[in-house]
Amino acid sequence: MDFRKQRLSIAEAKEMDMVHYLSSLGHEASKIRNNDYWYVSPLRQEHTPSFKVNRRLNRWYDHGIGKGGNIVDFGIEYFRCSVGEFLNKLNGDLSLHKPFENLSKTENESEHKIKILNNFELSSYALIRYLEQRKIPIEIAAKYCREVRYELNAKTYYGIGFKNDSSGFEIRNPYFKASSSPKDITTIKNGSDEVAVFEGFMDFLSFKSIEKNEVHSASDFTILNSLSLFEKARPFLESHQTTRLYLDNDATGQKVTQQALSLSDKYVDESRLYQNHKDLNDWAVHSAKQQSKRLGNRL
């Protein structure tokens, strides 16, 4: 399957936040009153703001011309183009793929409200572009992840889903990080006497993407999905001769690492691989950018 041929759908486009989209075009609200954002119209010349976006409804209305609608309607007016042409424009800018509802919730708040509707092979352009930005090949992600449609607060969204051992999902898209119930660790068993441990699945996918780590491809893996689940993972981890820790380089991640090292000499801290970076994926992204820059300088 050629993933790069996937295009953003009309339904996915309509999930984008109009306020963020207008900002990406260089238009900022002149005034904000509750859910109403008022702009000097992007569609015509004026001095008094009469273009309104209701952020709760994610709809716009231009009082000067008596027109309004959703983001697709706006794009057709703004660019003077067809629906297909507008979707092609959106495909070129991943930053626009943000659900219009403010989804900045904690995992504990969101996991009890999320209902998984279905899951299938990764195909949405926005999610594939997101993985590309995280320097994770789609071929790697497709082995371990699914695309999920989920319901939250009576609205439907989509994201990258990574299943845990209790059939719950870790969900990611460019602007949303949450879990569906039940929350659990993810174990991948290859019958090895070594196990590699990651805090989140993006770090695990980065590890699988690094060619020099192919020597460890037969290792067992544990993705904690939350540091709070480390104790739950311990029986499986300590059933191995060696447990390699690839936890985040923040205070909490290093605290758990140090606690593990004090428990047994089976634990090995591998975070030196990505020292001076937040986590393994952050290091992988930075390394890829540096390599591209070096190649560019040689040309």
Q: Which domain holds residue 37?
A: 6-96
In the DSSP assignment, the letter for residue 103 is -
Q: Which of 1-5, 18-22, 155-159, 249-253 has the lowest mean pLDDT?
A: 1-5
User: What is Dmax (Cα atoms) for the chain?
Assistant: 72
Query: Quick check: is 1 in a domain?
Result: no
209 and 258: one domain?
yes
46 and 113: one domain?
no
64 and 139: one domain?
no
Two tokens at 204? 């695990």
pLDDT digits (tens, 9 = 90+) for 207-240: 999 865 555 568 999 999 999 999 999 999 999 9
Rounded CA separation 62/249 (Å): 48
Task: Judge contact between 52 and 36, C-beta under 8 A.
Answer: yes
Sheet with 115-120: strands ordered across: 115-120, 146-152, 155-163, 169-173, 176-179
pLDDT of residue 107: 43
The CATH number of whichever domain residue 42 belongs to comes to: 3.90.580.10
pLDDT of residue 297: 59
204 and 159: one domain?
no
268 and 167: one domain?
no
pTM, 2 dp: 0.65
Q: How many domains does the chain have?
A: 3
Where does a domain end: 179, 208, 233? Answer: 179
pLDDT of residue 101: 42
pLDDT of residue 9: 78
Query: Quick check: is 40 in a domain?
Result: yes
pLDDT of residue 5: 42
The CATH number of whichever domain residue 195 belongs to comes to: 3.40.1360.10
Where does a domain end: 132, 155, 179? Answer: 179
User: Band of the pLDDT at 89, cuts 50, 70, 90?
Assistant: confident
Residue 193 scores a pLDDT above 70: yes
Where does a domain end: 49, 74, 96? Answer: 96
Residue 242 scores a pLDDT above 90: yes
154 or 295: which carries more pLDDT confidence? 154
pLDDT digits (tens, 9 = 90+) for 46-58: 889 999 999 889 9
212 and 268: one domain?
yes
- Long-range contacts (CB closer than 8 Å, 24 or more residues apart) made by 32-36: none
Two tokens at 64? 């000067």
